[in-house]
Chains A and B, each alone.
Chain A
Amino acid sequence: MQKKKKELTKTTPKEEVLIPDVDIYETEEAYVLLADLPGVDRDNLCVDIKEDELIIDGRVENVFKEGERPLAEEFKLGRYYRKFALGDLINYENVQASLKNGVLKVVLGKAEAAKPKKIEVKVAE
C-alpha cells in the first residue's frame, strides 16, 4: 500500500492545468475559436496543429509579488491546455491566430467541401 501511494504522487503533475473557456462560431468562410487565456502573453503561448488536432498551450508567469498574503482567492493562474479535433472540414493552409487582452482568436479557414454552395435552380420552361 505504502509503495503504491508513493508512485501515485510521483506521477501527479506539480502544476494545475486550467481548461480555458472557448466560444466557437462559424461564418461562411471559416470557423472562429475564441479562448479566454487571462495572464498569458505571446511569448508564453503555443498554438499548434498536429495531424488533425488544434492544441492550445499557454502559461502564466507568476504575477504575485514576494510577501503577498492572500485574503480572498476566486481564481488560480497557471497553465492553460486544451485540444480540439478538427477533422477534414478545415483548410490547414489557412489558419490564423492572434492574441489580444488575454483572448486568443484562431481563424480556421474552411475546406472547399465545407463552404456553403449555392445551387442554381433552373426554372423549367
Chain B
Amino acid sequence: MTWKDPFNVLEEVVENLFPTILTEQEIRTTLAPVVVSEDKDNYYVRVLLPGVEPDKINVVLQDRQLSIEGERKPEIEEKATFLRRERPYGKFKRVINLSKHIDSEKVEASYKNGILFLTLPKKEELKPRQIKIKAE
C-alpha cells in the first residue's frame, strides 16, 4: 500500500538543515511527524500521534539518543468496509539525536489531544554562562 506523503519535501529540507538531529527515518513520516525545539533550559519534542493510546507509546532515552516507538492500528468495526482511507497506520520509530547533556532524571512526557510532548532538561554545564571580566 502506498501513501502520498505531503511531508516529503519538508523532510528533505529538514534533513539538509539539520543533518544530525533526525536519523533512522521511517519512510512514511506522516505516521509520527516530529517538531524538535529548544530554549535555554530545555529541549522540547512534540510528536503527532492521534488515536494512539499513550501506554502504547514507548519512549527511551539512551545517552544522547531519544527514540519513540509504537504502532498505530486501523480502527474498524467488524463487518464494515472502508470507503475512503487516508489516515496512515503501521509501526513507527523515530530517533532523535540530542546533545549528550540531558538530565535524564528530569525528563517529562505527556500526551494530550493526540500529541506526545517531551521536555528534556539540558544539563547545567550546557547552559550559557556569563563570564565576568575583571578590570585591572
- A residues 33-72 in Cβ contact with B at 8 Å: 34, 36-41, 63-65, 67-72
The answer to whether residues A38 and B48 also contact, given A27-B80, A28-B79 and a CB cut-off of 8 A, is yes
Q: Give the residue among B74, B81, B84, B85 with the most A Cβ atoms within 10 A.
A: B84
Using Cβ atoms and an 8 Å threshold, which residues of chain B touch A31?
Answer: 83
Report B's interface with A, CB cutoff 8 A: 7, 10-11, 14, 17-18, 21-22, 29-30, 33-40, 43-44, 46, 48-53, 74-77, 79-88, 111-115, 117
Residues A21 and B21 in contact, CB atoms below 8 Å apart: no
CB A80 to nearest CB in B, in angstroms, measures 11
Do the beta carbons of A68 and B53 come within 8 Å of each other? Answer: no
Interface residues on A, range: 20 to 34
A42 to chain B minimum Cβ distance, whole angstroms, is: 9
Let me know if A16 is at the binding interface, CB within 8 A: no
| Any B CB within 8 A of the CB of A73 | yes
Shortest Cβ-Cβ A-B pairs, 5 listed: A102-B114, A102-B50, A38-B114, A74-B33, A21-B86
